[in-house]
Chains A and B, each alone.
Chain A
Amino acid sequence: DTGVSQDPRHKITKRGQNVTFRCDPISEHNRLYWYRQTLGQGPEFLTYFQNEAQLEKSRLLSDRFSAERPKGSFSTLEIQRTEQGDSAMYLCASRRGATTNEKLFFGSGTQLSVL
């Protein structure tokens, strides 16, 4: 069990650029979640996958955001035409099954700064 890993840890970009983040979940976990967290706030749900299928996407998520999980392993989150309001910590989490009594394992996150 190597844990959930995210890459990069930090990303600084200029407004209007595209960025992509990667998340590698724990290998036997078929549920993968993306959250966004701004300073002083709780993590905000963005989207989640069951294997390669994206089952839910937050209505707050703009069309500039897209996520994939090809082959049900790692996942990528892309933000196109970044805006300063996109600056946040992007957290990935995974768990083995669907039952609500299973805990989430979080990665260390990717801190995005849009200048």
Chain B
Amino acid sequence: QQPVQSPQAVILREGEDAVINCSSSKALYSVHWYRQKHGEAPVFLMILLKGGEQKGHDKISASFNEKKQQSSLYLTASQLSYSGTYFCGTVFGNEKLTFGTGTRLTIIP
């Protein structure tokens, strides 16, 4: 049931773009995206509801394709502060959030 994220890890130079994908084998009700820095708690980025999308902040946005049961997170013109591990969280119809496998993003100057 755990969503699968790809890629597992990515290294970018500052200013480059990245796409992180989250795929589920089950129908989704909504998708959450969180970022976690080493040793810290996950921090909310955005939620995408079934049939729509919501933009978060800065140059980070996301889409939700309910037919394909997947979501993608787009990071544009990456900044050093974007480094961390990104998790999607999926809701299958109950209240609990099931987190994905994670994508470690490293931004280098």
Q: Which positions in A face B, CB cutoff 8 Å? A: 31, 33, 35, 40-45, 48, 55-56, 91, 98, 100-109
Contacts and interface: CB of A to CB of B under 8 A. Distances in A.
Interface residues of B, number: 24
A45 B102 contact: no
Most buried by A among B29, B41, B94, B101: B41
A46 to B, nearest CB: 10
Interface stretch (B43-51, B67-75, B76-84): B43-51
A102 B91 CA distance: 11
B97 A45 contact: yes
A56 B99 CA distance: 16
Contact of A107 (B41, B47, B87, B101): B41
Interface string B75-109: 00000000000010101001111111110000000
Nearest to B32: A103
22 contacts: A31-B95, A41-B101, A42-B2, A42-B87, A42-B101, A43-B99, A45-B98, A48-B95, A56-B96, A91-B41, A98-B95, A100-B47, A100-B49, A100-B91, A100-B95, A104-B42, A104-B89, A104-B97, A106-B41, A106-B43, A107-B41, A108-B40
